Structure 1
Amino acid sequence: MADLRAYQPSFTAGELSPALGARVDLAKYSSGLRSAVNIFVHPHGGASNRAGTEFVTEVKNSAKITRKVPFEFNTEQTYRLEFGDKYFRVIRDGGVILKSGAPYEVVTPYAHTDIWNLVHIQDADVMYVCHPDYPVQKIARLADDNWTISAVTFAPKIVAPTGLAVSSHFQRKNGDTTNAAFRVTAVNASGAESAGSTAVSRVLQTEKEDGRQTKFTWNAVAGAVLYRLYRTSGNFQGLLVEVTTTEATVEQMQINGVDPQIPAAAGTGAPSTPTGLAITIQYGKEMKYVVSAVDGGTGEESLPSSPVTAVNDLSLNNNKNVLTWNALAGASAYIIYKESNGIYGYIGRSETTLFTDSNIVADMADGPQTGRNPFNGVGNYPRVATFIEQRLGFFSTRKDPQAGFLSQSANYENFGVSSPAKASDAVTFRIRSRQVNEIRGAIALGGLMLLTSGAEWVVSGGSNSDAITPSAIKIDPQGYRGSSRVQPIVVGNTVLFAQEAGGVIRDMSYDFASNGYDGKDLTILARHLFEDREIKAWGYAQAPYSIVWVVLDNGRLCSLTYLKEHDVWAWTRHESGPNGAAIFEDVTVAREGKEDVPYFIVRRTIGGQQKRYIERLRSRAFSKIEDAFFVDCGLTYEGPAAKIITGLDHLKGQTVVALADGNVVRNLVVGNVTGGVGVVLPNAATKVHIGLPMIATLETLNLDLGQVPGLGTVQGRQKSVSEVTLRVEKTRGIFVGPYDGDRNSDDLVEYKQRSIEAWNEAIALYTGDIKITPPWDWNDNGRMFVKQFDPLPMTILAIMPDVVVGK
């Protein structure tokens, strides 16, 4: 036999799959665990039992589906919105916001069966909420107890100006005149021409051009494809113009006809003779104008006003058009556009309600916007949203699952476009791929990262542009894994997403070597936790331990300690309630003080009835044992010394445990007591944490010592652990043994920690090495169980078993 000491100084591989039980060749085997229940792994290597959960409130209706949505204005003002059947309630700092003594509540359009498909994105005090079957909603916080929710209109916040009018100023000149008569004929598709209409005469000025024009109009003729206008009196008789419409405009000095002359009679099969010929004199050409307003607060431009038409010849000196309109509240300036060939172009800006056009050439590269709402009507509501480059992006509708819509720059609710397009215009694009895969996630990280049901894509402005614009957009695939509908999360500069199939969680970040995004399967070492499972909800708590909390579709809760730069990714699992029967349904994380705090919705059976409770994970930062909170669904009493603790209605009939002034009190049953529902302590206490017991279990892998001289591997050999040295930190209350069991089991030994404390004082926390002699046993695995049964802290930094190996 050989006496050896093993040493495991780290647990940063977390709980490993049983399928890896023989992979002692893996580097992570030496830092792995066979099981870790109600344990989390520190990024630096140690393992601790998690803190308990504090009862916040029961949801409004425990019989219906409920979920939480985080609302974070800044690191100091964070909320959780309890979404249920057509309502949400507000929670802040572990308490429900009340109004007039009742929970403050806002009516929403969402049925409880639809709330799991809600996707939200927030900008300061405003949150946009998407669902493919509901119009986009906007939630706004005005105060803790004053919130609004409304459908987004997707239009500029400032309205278009009204009352646009124009007055034309021009100078007339006198000159020689002549009296001329005119007639019009109609021509059909075969070329047959009608007889001329009744002649109409007009005195026309023939010298000293001043911009005047002669406009002819007539009634349409059935079967006519074109019309011919003739001058039919005096000199210069003949064809004047040929048009396909029922009007013609000729310049002042172009009223002389040329051959051919008007036909004497209608041709064979000719259409009817036109009627209603009329002549008007106008000074110049028609010009159309519109004006828009600029929001003085945001700089956003409104849609253009209704157009106004002027007739003038601005090429002549002193001719001008003067535009006026009504003042608009909130406008700091107005932008004026003029039409040219059917398109409006910029001609100026005014800070008043007056503008003069003295023949300004329109900038056709800068036109007014056209209002657009891509999300109007059933089938056009987006399912995903994010912010990217000062734009609000919506993605994937039922009618167009691969479409992306980006708002105008800095104008989140404006999806208007201009012609020609401007760099700040809204952007619309579609992913073109072999399959139609709906967009399920969108993240702004080194470009716009889109996760679809079949692939991962990055959208950028391309090599010639720093930003995405209507004329600069490039869509590149990064992989073909496929994403589930649970929204991705960002850890540092890395995206974590759940695959569409296989219960796999992957990370993805930019890799300079491949000039693309790549990552790894984070569940490969703990596949047993995710087989045939789906990720239902998750949240990332960066401070203090960098943990991703994951709720699975079977109600189990897992945690992933993740620190990519140190190659740390360690899974553990968590249970709550008698026999671990509690069902975790949701988790969200938001900053409270210096820590990121997970909130859970937990389904428990209390008094034979199903209850859905909102519970928050308590902090593990404390300096005194009296402040340690390691019970689930618990509450804290702090005040004058008391034996009767009430206010435990939510746990009526349950067996609970308490930490009273640092001393453990077990086997308490919640029932009717003086003053309400609660328990009676054996001794009065001033600070009491009371709730459901929580058992933490850490089990080592099969012992491996590498290649031992003279023995080779110890795998499969009989072995006995004669003593275990645990290096612990701020710990109290540990059981150790070769097999699992309850606190009364012969397979576990409790470490007796009381030393210098008086009999009535709470046992102090200990940091250092402790030695425990486990029950004597020979087996072929050499595993050890380390357990915590009491509401006390436990942190294991290293395990050092002394092993006797049989030959």
Structure 2
Amino acid sequence: MSVARIFRTPTPYHQQELAELDHVQAFDVVYLAHLNHAPTQLVRSSHTNWAFAPVTLGPTIAAPAGAAVHATVANTDADNGGNAYFPRLATYAVTAINDVTGQESRPSSGASASNDLTLKRNKNLVTWGAVTGANRYRVYKANHESAFGYIGETQGTSFTDDNIDPDLSDGPPEANNPFGPNRNPSTVTFFDQRLIWARTREVPNGVFTSRSADFANMDIARPARADDAISIRISAQKVNSVHALVPLQNLIALTGDGVFVIAGSDGDYLSAAPPPMAKRQSGRGASRLKPLVLDEAVFFQPAVGSGVRSLGFTFEIEGYRSNDVSIFSPELFRGHTIASWAYAEEPLSVVWTARSDGKVPTFTWQLEQQVWGWTLCETAGKVETICSIPEGGESRVYWVVEREIAGVKRRFLERLASAKWSDLDLSCYLDCAVTFRLEAPQRRFLVPHLAGATVDAMADGFAIRGLACDGAGWVDLGHEASRLVTIGLGYEALIETLPLAVQAESGSIQAKRQMLGDVVVQVADTRLGAIEVGRRLDRMQQPRARTTEPLGTPSALFTGAAVVGTEPVTAGEATLFIRSREPLPMTVTSVFLDPVVSEA
């Protein structure tokens, strides 16, 4: 039995706020967004050191301090009675540059002096204190009370101005914070080397970006630079509250009333100068459920109605088109919403969804093979939240599930068993299960979390069903096991084929009496004795369970075609059931039917 410790840390969020919490991760920092809280980050310093802290907006490099100006007035045009001497006030500000991070600090406090720099030998010497981490400094100048403009840079802590005209198209950065009370963002993502926030109470259609490659810096310059922070509002016929942001080839904004693409004015890089644009792509709004990205497609829950929609770029319209991917399984979503979902990319490419009633519709997606479809999974409890984490070369799915064991409701954090196994003994096809690796033979096992439940077990390759777990949590297998034992809640895997719809010489066979006869089921890595095949659930047949294995040993896994006869009953359209109630793998790759069609 594996054991792990849970690390706990205080959080600023209430339990009821978690459903509305959005997040995005950059290495060991997770940025968190919620309407009731200022932008927050969760920083991991070690396995046992995690801490929440508000995001401090602005550059990390300090502004130069102690800026001063010493005016050298060597020429007052005394020979002409000072007729050409016109002193003007000049104000200077200095910023520090860190070449490693690319950050530019906010400007120092202004330092002023009066001088006529148009006359020879007159100059202003600007000085300031050194800044830790600075590789160079930029100097800005404002004549009289005009705007600041760039006049030069230096690696030292002084700069001489001998009548340099300021470049007013390049000004110093200014402190900027678009957030505050009643202006907390609730959506966050990354795009084009920027941290993107959206949707505040005051500006529900607002999108706010950091400076380029400087995630916690929202500063701007006047006039705007291309890498400045950006603030825009998505304007359309309605107030489009931004429910989610998705980074694809473009930045996609999913709002309550439609889908928008946010792109640079040139249709490419997202920059502050020129400002970006928001172009409407679809009139289908999205809910607040965080979308999933599968390959080049986005999956989201619509704002109105039920089901799941996909969004992908199509060259036909040179834009993004939305499609209903739940149209063939509407009964799985009618009257329900999705509380949580996650995409398990490897090895099976499956979307796991926690429905509002605790059941789990799963969506298999293989775009390159044009294979997709929904399956309903039900567990002995209510699944509340789901997530997927890459571990050991595959996507491991975790869920929080509420179960009632012996009349007591308990909440479990469970990890779905690995889909990659080389030995059947290492597989697990049981719910809420635990595995024991034995050093000596034993027959009784303690599973206190399943006390009072009826459980199934896998012991040394044999399946055992219907075991009683007593009030203390002890389970007796009835015989000793020597290697591996897995104990958990059993479940049933059931496949039902669609009615046949083929064209015969006399026309379509639909609505005609059909008899299946022999059925060929193609399986992979499946124990034949664990599956049943038939026309009716109360009259199922098993294929031949053993080939060359000796009695008393577990039958081997089988890959190939299994032939099963079905009862000679004709009763309308013929469908086929394939079922496994054993805690064993069942992989069906295809089914071949040879129906006999009757006109009567």
The TM-score bracket by the shorter chain reads over 0.9
* Contact preservation (8 Å) 1:439, 1:450: yes
For residues 96-143 of structure 1, the C-alpha deviation after alignment (integer angstroms, 9 at most, x for no partner) is 4x4xxxx32111111001100010011111110001111111111111
Amino acid at match of 2:518: E
**RMSD, aligned CA:** 2.0
Could you tell me how far apart the structure 2 residues matched to 1:714 and 1:738 are?
A: 18
CA distance in 2 between counterparts of 1:383 and 1:132 reads 5
3-state SS of 2:137 partner: strand
Partner of 2:177: 373
Question: Which of 614, 629, 654 is 2:428 aligned to?
Answer: 629
| Contiguous gaps of at least 5 residues in structure 2 | none
TM-score by length of 2: 0.95
Aligned-pair distance for 1:598? Answer: 1.3
1:120 aligns with 2:40: no
Q: Is the 8 A contact 1:625 1:764 kept in 2?
A: no
Q: Does 1:139 align with 2:30?
A: no
2:118 is matched with: 315
The partner residue of 2:226 within 423, 428, 432 is 423
Q: Cα offset for 1:374?
A: 0.7
Total equivalences in the alignment:
596
- Give me the identity figure in percent: 33
Deviations 1:506-548 (A, max 9, x none): 1111111211111321011111111121122111122112211
Contact (CA 8 Å) 1:601, 1:612: kept in 2 or not?
A: yes
TM-score using structure 1 length: 0.71
Q: Structure 2: which amino acid aligns with 1:152? A: V
- Structure 1 or 2, whichever has the larger Rg, is 1
Deviations 1:228-275 (Å, cap 9, x if unpaired)? xxxxxxxxxxxxxxxxxxxxxxx5xxxxxxxxxxxxxxxxxxxxxxxx
Q: How many angstroms does 1:555 deviate by?
A: 1.1
Change in CA separation of 1:375 and 1:351 when aligned onto 2, cut-off 3 Å: same
Tell me which amino acid in the other structure corresponds to 2:253: L
Give the secondary-structure state (helix, strand or coil) at the position aligned to 1:105.
coil
- Structure 1 residues 529, 672: CA separation in 2 closer, same or farther (over 3 Å shift)? closer
- From 563, 575, 579, the equivalent of 1:771 is 563
2:541 is matched with which residue?
A: 749
Please name the residue that 1:476 is paired with.
Answer: 279
Alignment of 1:559-574 (within 5 A): 559-574=362-377
Q: 2:592 & 2:159 partners in 1: Cα distance?
A: 87
**Residues 1:620 and 2:494 aligned together:** no
Deviations 1:3-44 (A, max 9, x none): xxxxxxxxxxxxxxxxxxxxxxxxxxxxxxxxxxxxxxxxxx
What is the aligned counterpart of 2:53 among 147, 150, 163? 150
Q: Is contact 1:502–1:533 with CA below 8 Å preserved after alignment?
A: no
**Structure 2 CA distance, aligned partners of 1:395 and 1:645?**
56
Match of 1:207 among 81, 96, 117: 81
Taking the aligned partners of 2:99 and 2:131, their CA distance within structure 1 comes to 11
* Distance across 1 between alignment mates of 2:409 and 2:485: 27
Over 3 Å counting, the alpha-carbon distance change for 1:470 and 1:504 in structure 2 is farther
Secondary structure of 1:495 counterpart: strand
Whether the 8 Å contact between 2:359 and 2:379 is mirrored in structure 1 is no
Runs of 5+ consecutive residues of structure 1 not aligned to the other structure: 1-54, 57-94, 177-205, 212-250, 252-283
1:62-108 Cα offsets, whole Å, 9 max, x none, are xxxxxxxxxxxxxxxxxxxxxxxxxxxxxxxxx74x4xxxx321111
Q: How far apart in 2 are the matches of 1:376 and 1:598?
A: 37
How far apart are 1:295 and its partner, in Å?
2.7
Say which structure, 1 or 2, has more relative contact order (CA 8 Å, 6+ apart): 1
What corresponds to 2:351 in structure 1? 548
For 1:313 and 1:431, how far apart are their aligned partners in 2?
A: 50
The secondary structure found in structure 2 opposite 1:748 is: strand
> Which amino acid in structure 2 is aligned with residue 400 of structure 1?
V
Residues 496, 506 of structure 1: 8 Å contact kept: yes
**Pair 1:763–1:380, CA change in 2 (3 A):** same
Provide the rounded CA distance (Å) in 2 between the counterparts of 1:725 and 1:356.
90
- Secondary structure, counterpart of 1:753 in structure 2: coil
Structure 2 match to 1:782: 574
> Which residue of 67, 73, 83 corresponds with 1:164?
67
Alignment counterpart, residue 688 of structure 1, candidates 482, 485, 490:
485
Tell me if the contact between 2:260 and 2:282 (Cα under 8 Å) persists in the aligned partners: yes
Aligned to 1:50: none
Which residue number in structure 2 is paired with residue 648 of structure 1? 447
Measured against aligned partners, the alpha-carbon deviations of 1:278-309 in whole angstroms (never above 9, x if no partner) come to xxxxxx22211111112353121111111111
Q: Which amino acid aligns with 1:612?
A: R
Contact 2:440–2:482 under 8 Å retained in 1? yes
1:107 alignment partner AA: P
Separation in 1 of the partners of 2:422 and 2:78? 104
Supply the distance in 2 between the matched residues of 1:721 and 1:627 (Cα, whole angstroms). 37
Q: Is the 8 A contact 1:465 1:472 kept in 2?
A: no
Confirm whether residue 726 of structure 1 aligns to residue 521 of structure 2. yes
Tell me the SS of whatever aligns to 2:329.
helix
Q: CA deviation at 1:144?
A: 1.1
- Whichever residue aligns with residue 141 of structure 2, its letter is K
Contact 2:28 2:44 (8 Å CA) reproduced: yes
Q: Secondary structure at the match of 2:330?
A: helix
Do residues 393 (structure 1) and 196 (structure 2) align?
A: yes
Q: Which amino acid aligns with 2:422?
A: S
* Aligned-partner Cα distance in 2 for 1:738–1:380: 61
1:344 aligns with 2:148: yes
The residue aligned with 2:297 is: 494
State the 1:612 CA deviation: 1.5
Secondary structure of 2:165's aligned partner: coil
In structure 2, C-alpha distance between the alignment counterparts of 1:752 and 1:396, rounded to whole Å = 61
2:443–2:479 contact (8 Å) kept in structure 1: no
Segment of structure 1 superposing worse, 308-317 or 462-471: 462-471
8 Å contact from structure 2 (residues 417, 427) kept in 1: no
Q: Deviations over 1:130-174 (max 9, x none)?
A: 011111111111111111210112111122121112211112558
- In structure 2, give the amino acid aligned to 1:426: A
Give the aligned partner of residue 107 of structure 2. 304
CA distance in 2, matches of 1:576, 1:659: 19
Aligned partners of 2:456 and 2:488 also within 8 Å: yes
471-480 or 397-406: bigger deviation: 471-480
2:504 aligns to what? 708
8 Å Cα contact 1:172-1:210 kept in structure 2 = no
Query: What is the Cα deviation at residue 780 of structure 1?
Result: 1.4
Distance 2:165 2:475 in 1: 83
User: Paired residue for 2:460, among 650, 661, 665?
Assistant: 661
Within 5 A, what are the aligned runs for 1:356-367?
356-367=160-171
Does the C-alpha gap of structure 1 residues 415 and 672 become closer, same or farther in structure 2, counting only changes over 3 Å? Answer: same
Using the TM superposition, give the Cα deviation of residue 445 of structure 1 relative to its aligned residue in structure 2, in angstroms.
1.3
Q: Deviations over 1:318-341 (max 9, x none)?
A: 111112222221222221111134
* 1:792 equivalent in structure 2: 584
Secondary structure at 2:504 match in 1: coil
Whether the 8 Å contact between 2:127 and 2:158 is mirrored in structure 1 is yes
Q: 2:399 aligns with which of 586, 596, 600?
A: 600
**1-structure distance, mates of 2:174, 2:284:** 39
- Please give the alpha-carbon distance, in whole angstroms, between the structure 2 residues aligned to 1:679 and 1:319: 99
Aligned-partner SS, 2:500:
coil
**Structure 1 residue 758: Cα displacement:** 2.2
Contact 2:282–2:322 under 8 Å retained in 1: no
Match of 2:314 among 504, 511, 514: 511
Secondary structure (helix, strand or coil) at the match of 2:425 reads: helix
Do 2:343 and 2:388's aligned partners in 1 also have CA atoms closer than 8 Å?
yes
| Partner in structure 2 of residue 278 of structure 1 | none
